[in-house]
Structure 1
C-alpha cells in the first residue's frame, strides 16, 4: 500500500483524503481544537483557497503521531514502564513488538496501545502531498505560499525522521525497502527545502525548526560538522512545540493522559529522583502517585514535565541544538554547551578535560534534557547502549525488539516487498 488506509483510500471515484474543516494556518492551534474530520475527493483539494487548510491538516496529523511516538518509544526504551497488565500496552514495555503486531501496524492515536506505523505514515503522506499539491498552484493564487510550502516540508522532514530513527526498515509509497540512512537522507532533503523556502519568506520560526531537524538527521548520518553548523544557527531560547488540547482525545498530550489520567504508565525507576550533586534535576521531575496501576503491583510514578492534557510537546528546540553541538564538536565546546543548559536549569556546572568523560556526560545530558521528547530510543540504538534483558519486575522475559519491524500488513501488500 502506498500510504496507510486511515490516510486515504482508493475508490472508483479516485483518491479520497482525510482533512479537517479549517481556517488559516496562522490560527493552527485553535483550528486543531475544533477538528471536524471528513473525507473529500482529492480533486476538491485542487483549490488554492484550501492551501492553508491542507497544511494545517498535515501539521495536525504529525502532532497526533508525535505524542503517540513519545509514549510508545518511552516504553520500548527505558523512560517508562507499564502498569496495566493489558497486552496492547505491556508488549511495548516487554519489547515484544513483532511484524505481525496489529497495534503497531494499524493502531491510531486514540487506540489502546500505541500504533506508530499508520499515524507516522499518515503524517508523512499528508505533508508530502501538501508540498506537491501547493507547489502546483499558481503563485498569485496562494497567499503566503513560501511559508505554507516551508511548513509542509519541515513537517514532512520530521515524519521521515521518526520513521528513520525508530524502524529497522521502511517503505514509502509502495516503494522498495529502505534502511534508516536512506529514510533519514530524505528527511535531510525535506529540511533543506524548508530552510530555503523559509529563508525566502523570512519566516524564522520554520527556518529554525528545519535547522534543528536537519542538524538532528545530519548527526544521525555522521555529518558532524554540518550538524554543528546548523545547530549553531539556532537562536537562544528557540522552541517549536506541538500544540495539545483537551478538546478531544486525538488532541490530548498522550504521555500525561496515560499517566496522570489513566494510570497506565509509570516513570522508569532510572529516572526517579535524579540529581546533579545534591541538587534535584528539574529536567526530570517525578512524583510518587501514591497508588498502584491497574495491574495491582506496579507503583505508579508521575512525570512532571507535562502537567495537563493540553501541555505542548517539544518538536525542535535550542536546547536540543546545544546538545547536537556538544556531541558533534566534543571537547570544551561540549562542556560549554552542557553548562549553558545547566545554567538555564539552575544546576551546578560541569567541568572536565577527559574526552571519554565528556562524551559520557553529553549522553547523560541528552537523557535528562530530552526526557520524554521522543529521542531516547534512537540514542539507545545509535550509541549501542544496553536494553533490559532477563525478566522484568513481573517475572516476564523481555523480548528482543529494539528497532521496530516493518509491519507484515505493509510488507505483504507492497508489490516491491511481497515476493
Structure 2
C-alpha cells in the first residue's frame, strides 16, 4: 500500500469544507472563505479534509492546554507581570469565571469545530465516496474516528455545566456529563483502532501501523484513568506506547501559532509558572530538560517571575501523548490502583522516564507514593494540559470552595442551545 502522507500546513482554508453543511454545533460563526461542499465529496480531497482536522486539533489543544494550566495550580496570572492585562485570564486564574469569558468562548468554538470536522469526515467518506481508494478511505476514517474521540475527551476533561460538573454538548443537544462523554470518546477511539492506516506521516515523523495502534491505546488508557476505570486503563496502557516510539505532537506554525507563545511565552506573557517549578530546578538543575523556564522582571522592578520556555517559538509543538506518559500511567496503576501491569516495577518505570531526560534515577527501595507519582507527572507533563484533571482526581484543589474546576460552557452556547 502506498505511503500515506498527511500535510500539516495550517492554512486559513482548512475549515473551508463546512460550506453547505447544516448547522453543526455550538455558537460557531460560518467561515468566510469556503469551497463548495459537493467538490469535497471527491476522494482526491481526503488529504485536504484530513489536513483541516489536524489543524483544528492543534488549535484546540493549544488553547485548552494554556487555559486549563491557568485554571490549575500550574500557572498563575499577576498584573505585575509585564503585558499581563487580560481580565479573562484573571478570572480563569481565580476560578471565578464569568459565562461571557471570551477566552473560554474561543476555545469552546474551536472544540465544537474539531468535533464536527472529525465526525463529518467519516460521514462524508461513508455516504459520498463509495469508490474512494481503500488506503485513502482508511486514512480518512482513522483521522475522523481518532480526533472525534479526542474531541469528546476534551469536552469531558475540560468543560463543565457548573463548577463541579464536567461534560459538554454535541450538535446543540442535551448536556452530556463527563462519565458519559468519556464513553462516547472510547467508542470513537476503538473505531480508530479498527481503521489503522499502514503508515502515517505527521510533519517529519512517520508512524508505523503498530506505533499508531500504541498511540491510540495510550489515549484510551488516559481516558479510562480519568474515568476511574483502572482495570481497563491498565489493559490499554499495557498495549500502549513503548520506549523508542515517537511522541504524538500537535504542530503549529507562524500562521497558526502555539497558544502558549502569546499567552504564556516569549510573544506575550499573561500566565507565569507557579513558584514550585523554579524550586524543582533549584533542587535539581537537570530538571531543566523537563521544565525549561526563563526569568521575567515584574513591573515593580523587584519581583522575578518565571515563564515557561518549553515552547519558545510560535511553531513549537506540544506533545499530546508520549511513551513517558504511558509509563507513568502504568506506574500509578500498579503502585496506587492495585492493577496488574504485566509484572513491571512501578519504580523502574518511573526511573526509565527520568533517565530518558538525563535525570538520576530514584534509589532502589524508594516507595512509589501518591506524592511521588504526582510530582513526576507534574514535571513530565508540564504545560500539556494534564495538571487540571490530576488535581481533581487526586483531590488536590488549590482554590476556595465554589470556584470553577472546569472551563464553563459559555453564555453564547447556552443561549444558542435550547437544551441548556
Change in CA separation of 1:415 and 1:338 when aligned onto 2, cut-off 3 Å? same
Q: State the match for 1:98 in structure 2.
A: 98
- Report the 3-state secondary structure (helix = DSSP H, G, I; strand = E; otherwise coil) of the residue aligned with 2:171: coil
Once the two structures are TM-superposed, the CA of residue 76 in structure 1 deviates from its matched residue by 0.7
Once the two structures are TM-superposed, the CA of residue 352 in structure 1 deviates from its matched residue by 7.0
How far apart are the structure 2 equivalents of 1:129 and 1:305?
34
Deviations 1:247-267 (A, max 9, x none): x2xx11221333211132321
How far apart are the structure 1 equivalents of 2:282 and 2:327?
19
Residue 32 in 1 paired to residue 10 in 2? yes
Alignment partner for residue 173 of structure 1, among 171, 174, 177?
Answer: 171
CA contact (8 A) 1:49 1:141 kept: no
What TM-score, normalized by structure 2, do the two folds share?
0.80
Give 1:253-402 correspondences, 5 Å limit.
Answer: 253-258=258-263, 259-275=265-281, 278-281=284-287, 282-289=289-296, 291-292=297-298, 299-330=304-335, 333-351=345-363, 357-389=368-400, 400-402=403-405
Greater RCO, 1 or 2 (C-alpha within 8 Å, sep 6+): 2
Q: State the match for 2:408 in structure 1.
A: 405
Once the two structures are TM-superposed, the CA of residue 200 in structure 1 deviates from its matched residue by 7.2
Once the two structures are TM-superposed, the CA of residue 316 in structure 1 deviates from its matched residue by 1.3
Alignment partner for residue 204 of structure 1, among 204, 210, 213?
Answer: 210
CA contact (8 A) 1:170 1:179 kept: yes
Change in CA separation of 1:322 and 1:413 when aligned onto 2, cut-off 3 Å? same
Q: State the match for 2:139 in structure 1.
A: 147
Residue 69 in 1 paired to residue 64 in 2? yes
What TM-score, normalized by structure 1, do the two folds share?
0.80
Aligned length: 370
Give 1:131-142 correspondences, 5 Å limit.
Answer: 131-136=122-127, 137-141=129-133
How far apart are the structure 1 equivalents of 2:168 and 2:93?
22
Once the two structures are TM-superposed, the CA of residue 399 in structure 1 deviates from its matched residue by 7.3
Change in CA separation of 1:199 and 1:359 when aligned onto 2, cut-off 3 Å? farther
Q: State the match for 1:79 in structure 2.
A: 74
Alignment partner for residue 39 of structure 2, among 40, 44, 58?
Answer: 44
Q: State the match for 2:248 in structure 1.
A: 240
Change in CA separation of 1:39 and 1:296 when aligned onto 2, cut-off 3 Å? farther
Change in CA separation of 1:306 and 1:103 when aligned onto 2, cut-off 3 Å? closer
- Report the 3-state secondary structure (helix = DSSP H, G, I; strand = E; otherwise coil) of the residue aligned with 1:39: coil
Deviations 1:75-127 (A, max 9, x none): 1111212231331322221222133434322x2xxxxxxxx211111111111
Change in CA separation of 1:297 and 1:169 when aligned onto 2, cut-off 3 Å? farther
Once the two structures are TM-superposed, the CA of residue 340 in structure 1 deviates from its matched residue by 0.8
CA contact (8 A) 1:265 1:300 kept: no
CA contact (8 A) 2:250 2:319 kept: yes
Residue 53 in 1 paired to residue 48 in 2? yes
How far apart are the structure 2 equivalents of 1:78 and 1:373?
13
Change in CA separation of 1:27 and 1:141 when aligned onto 2, cut-off 3 Å? closer
Deviations 1:21-74 (A, max 9, x none): xxx972422x32675762234333222221121121011011011111111111
CA contact (8 A) 1:154 1:209 kept: no
Q: State the match for 1:395 in structure 2.
A: none
Change in CA separation of 1:135 and 1:307 when aligned onto 2, cut-off 3 Å? same
Deviations 1:368-393 (A, max 9, x none): 1000011111111111112134xxxx
How far apart are the structure 1 equivalents of 2:115 and 2:302?
39
Q: State the match for 1:123 in structure 2.
A: 114
Change in CA separation of 1:308 and 1:224 when aligned onto 2, cut-off 3 Å? same
